Homo-oligomer: A and B are copies of this chain.
């Protein structure tokens, strides 16, 4: 049994290009006791993968010559575990490949229902859990508060923005380009969206919200975090979740002067989604009804074919994706 996989060919300097990846056929080992053979249906592409190929991510490094890792929705082709049967739909860290073998303990069932299976990689999956944990469990937004969401139409941002709106907040997005801003306000319900390519973000924020921001869900870091930290209301909450600004940098960037957070009496939370795995069902139970009701839309930027994964990932890294980046593999 063979799997076709995308490997890291070389560690990118700066923004990744398709040359940094290669498509390779690899022989799979034979299926062991308590293992399942999975056929990938959907592969999730996420910004954190840039940290993995730099060797800087909590979950570990991907080095040249190794297969790219990533979460997948897969179909069980063969099972040597009583927990799973042939044909079951599962969620697993299958990686950027067509087939994979896993211990049954590493595989989670995907609930059957009307929701597209790929949603368990986005609004009902890790990006959604990230948004929910940071916004609802950490920041605890109150009706009437002003919430600022960068990468407003991305996998995490789109869920966070719509959740904030459903909690009665005034929600301002930040996105790159007029079309993304249109999606944010016209489709996702943001009250306003700042085009970061169309002028100084701080000045645009001042115009939209002269009194500042109550909640900042930071997916970017760097200069943006500094600018927003100068514009926090007293009692603000800042969720430190992602650092898109430094994905292509060689060294970590310093943070904003702590005095800004003292002046705002801010509470700043470091968010790692893995810590909230035990509360996943609570999150699904809260968000699935919003999706069913059409209150929460799930924009997906989906391409077909594993061979197109590197191109989509590079688009994601250039900020050109529209919604959650997903590859339809099977």
Do the beta carbons of A272 and B268 come within 8 Å of each other?
no
Task: Give which listed residue, B255, B257, B265, B267, contacts A258 with CB less than 8 A.
Answer: B255
Task: Give which listed residue, B252, B260, B268, contacts A257 with CB less than 8 A.
Answer: B252
Please name the residue on chain B nearest to A265 by beta carbon. B270
Q: How far is the CA of A28 from the CA of B271 in the complex (A)?
A: 56
Q: Mark A247-285, 1 if CB is under 8 A from B, else 0.
A: 000001111111111111111111110010000000000
Q: Assess whether A240 is interfacial by the CB under 8 Å rule.
A: yes
Q: Assess whether A1 is interfacial by the CB under 8 Å rule.
A: no
A116 CB to closest chain B CB (Å) equals 31
Q: Assess whether A303 is interfacial by the CB under 8 Å rule.
A: no
Do the beta carbons of A256 and B255 come within 8 Å of each other?
yes
Please name the residue on chain B nearest to A266 by beta carbon. B270
How many A residues, CB 8 Å from partner? 31
Q: Assess whether A141 is interfacial by the CB under 8 Å rule.
A: no
Do the beta carbons of A275 and B265 come within 8 Å of each other?
yes
A4 CB to closest chain B CB (Å) equals 34
Q: Assess whether A291 is interfacial by the CB under 8 Å rule.
A: no
**Contact A240:B262 (CB < 8 A) given known A267-B269, A267-B270, A270-B267:** yes
Do the beta carbons of B265 and A267 come within 8 Å of each other?
no
Q: How far is the CA of A149 from the CA of B105 in the complex (A)?
A: 43
A178 CB to closest chain B CB (Å) equals 29
Q: Assess whether A221 is interfacial by the CB under 8 Å rule.
A: yes
**Contact A258:B58 (CB < 8 A) given known A267-B270, A268-B267, A275-B265:** no
Please name the residue on chain B nearest to A225 by beta carbon. B258
Task: Give which listed residue, B56, B225, B255, B262, contacts A272 with CB less than 8 A.
Answer: B262
Task: Give which listed residue, B218, B241, B243, B257, contacts A255 with CB less than 8 A.
Answer: B257
Please name the residue on chain B nearest to A271 by beta carbon. B262
Chain B residues, CB < 8 A from A246: 259
A244 CB to closest chain B CB (Å) equals 12
Please name the residue on chain B nearest to A261 by beta carbon. B270
Task: Give which listed residue, B259, B260, B271, contacts A265 with CB less than 8 A.
Answer: B271
Chain B residues, CB < 8 A from A261: 240, 268, 270
Q: How far is the CA of A38 from the CA of B242 in the complex (A)?
A: 55
A40 CB to closest chain B CB (Å) equals 29
Q: Which of A211-256 contact B (CB under 8 A)?
A: 218, 221, 225, 240-241, 243, 246, 252-256
A-B contact pairs, 22 of them (CB 8 A): A56-B259, A58-B263, A240-B261, A241-B262, A243-B259, A243-B262, A252-B259, A252-B260, A253-B257, A254-B255, A254-B256, A255-B256, A255-B257, A255-B258, A262-B270, A265-B270, A265-B275, A266-B269, A267-B267, A267-B269, A267-B270, A268-B270
With A240-B262, A265-B272 given, name 10 new contacts (CB 8 A).
A221-B258, A252-B260, A253-B257, A254-B254, A261-B268, A261-B270, A267-B269, A267-B270, A268-B268, A268-B270
6 shortest interchain CB distances as A-B pairs: A255-B255, A254-B254, A252-B257, A268-B268, A262-B270, A261-B270
